[in-house]
Amino acid sequence: MYCLRSVSVMSCAKMMGAIYGGLGLIFVPFLLLGGFAGLWSNSQDYSKAMMLILAILAPFLYGVMGFVMGAFTGWVYNLVARQIGGIRLELKPVVPNSPSNLGVDLTQ
């Protein structure tokens, strides 16, 4: 049994930034759809332009917020892990190219 006692705050921040940036890409088609629907309407407000701008900025905004929150989460994890211990992990060594790693069952 192993215990994850601390995490690299920068590593956590980079991973969360990349994950949330990718998730932001999922929202782009929906925001574009809203922006284009606004273009075809007869209204003269700025919401249609804002939807298009938001569609372009969404992945970047999500990525930046993921980075910031990932750094904060890593920092808080390290503080809490010092007080109550870290996450306990049971790790299994992996032998390269062994039949068990390739999904081959030799017991049959």
Rounded distance, CA 20 to CA 12, Å? 12
- The answer to whether the beta carbons of residues 75 and 16 sit under 8 Å apart is no
Rounded distance, CA 9 to CA 46, Å? 40
Q: Which of 12-21, 85-94, 99-108 has the lowest mean pLDDT?
A: 99-108
Radius of gyration of the chain (CA): 22
Residue by residue, what is the 3-state secondary structure of 48-62? HHHHHHHHHHHHHHH
The string of pLDDT tens digits covering residues 20-77 is 999 989 988 887 887 777 667 666 667 667 777 888 888 999 999 999 999 999 999 9
